[in-house]
Amino acid sequence: MASCLMCQKMLSKTLTIRELLSWRKVTDDVICENCKATFTVIRESKACPQCGRNQENQEICQDCQRWHLMPNTLKIKNRGLFQYTPAMHDYMHQYKFNGDLRLAKAFQHVVQLAIEAAQVDVVIPVPVSDTTFDHRGFNQTAELLQLVGKNRHSPVVYPALKVVTRDKQQQSKQGRKDRMDRTQPFVIDPNYAEKLHGNKILIFDDVYTTGRTLHFAAQALQTVEVASMIGFTLAR
């Protein structure tokens, strides 16, 4: 029997009636129910309507108010699925920085269902630089999308953005000022430009911190005439 990748306790899987009667493939759990319970879902009724930040009301948060005052920025809406709690921090550390690719499976099904409910045409994962990919061996954002596009109800996933600037320092090690002072790191892959035209686009990233990455991605994509653009992140 397999062990939970977070707490190392033995896993036990009990199928629900819905799972038994569903045509969907039942995925193997990689974390236990107790560890799952430590992650906190962001309810849309208690989130900033602009960035998806958890709060007690649906007013525009102060971070987004500052974004609205900045020149040449897009007012792109983002939905965060989970709060960036200590539990999520530990998960991201083990998944991204310790390189435990198996942990992508912990949220792939949740991400799939949320994106299908968004009713978009195309999902674009935020890319990582060649330096980061060579060091980590995978793009953590793209791996979370492995179940998206696997059935007729899913949008397609296009790796339509590329990183054109070389990492001076990993973004996770930068402070807020350094992140906000970054220059545009993304360009559209010309192989996908025509495929994006006229479609509803969802930009997906693992974590929304300052919002700078999402805004850069949206700015790069605005050169293509798309029907709409929204952001989705696993954590906010």
Identify the burial level of 200 via C-beta atoms within 10 angstroms of its C-beta, where 0-12 means exposed, 13-18 middle and 19 or more buried.
middle
R_g of the chain, CA atoms, integer Å: 18
Query: What tens-digit pLDDT sequence spans the chain (236 residues)?
Result: 689 999 999 987 665 666 555 555 445 689 998 999 999 999 999 999 999 999 998 899 999 999 888 887 778 999 999 999 999 999 999 999 999 999 999 999 999 999 999 999 999 999 999 999 999 999 999 999 999 998 887 899 999 999 997 655 555 565 555 566 678 999 999 999 999 999 999 999 999 999 999 999 999 999 899 999 999 999 99
The architecture CATH gives domain 28-169+176-235: 3-Layer(aba) Sandwich (3.40)
Identify the burial level of 16 via C-beta atoms within 10 angstroms of its C-beta, where 0-12 means exposed, 13-18 middle and 19 or more buried.
exposed
Give the three-state DSSP class for 78: strand
Q: Could you tell me the two tokens for 41?
A: 């879902």
DSSP 60: P
Q: Could you tell me the two tokens for 61?
A: 């948060």
Specify whether the CB–CB gap between 56 and 94 falls below 8 A: no
Q: What is the pLDDT at residue 100?
A: 95
Q: What is the pLDDT at residue 166?
A: 61
Q: Whose structure tokens read 């009667």? A: 21
Q: Say how far apart CA 14 and CA 56 lie, in whole Å.
A: 35
Q: What is the pLDDT at residue 29?
A: 85
Specify whether the CB–CB gap between 94 and 127 falls below 8 A: no
Specify whether the CB–CB gap between 38 and 87 falls below 8 A: yes
Q: Could you tell me the two tokens for 40?
A: 């906190």
Q: Per residue in 195-212, pLDDT tens? A: 999 999 999 999 999 999
The strand pair at 156-157 and 122-125 is best described as: parallel
Q: Per residue in 98-140, pLDDT tens? A: 999 999 999 999 999 999 999 999 999 999 999 999 999 999 9
Q: Say how far apart CA 165 and CA 130 lie, in whole Å.
A: 10
Give the phi and the psi of residue 95 in degrees, each rounded to 5: -70, -55
Residue type, 180: M
Q: Which residues of 60-97 are buried (b: 16+ CB within 10 A; e: fewer)?
A: bbeebeebeeeeebeebbbbbbbbbeebbeebbeebbe
Q: Say how far apart CA 103 and CA 90 lie, in whole Å.
A: 11
The strand pair at 161-163 and 186-188 is best described as: antiparallel
Identify the burial level of 148 via C-beta atoms within 10 angstroms of its C-beta, where 0-12 means exposed, 13-18 middle and 19 or more buried.
buried
Q: What are the C-alpha distances in Å from 76 to residues 9, 18, 164, 215?
A: 41, 35, 22, 7
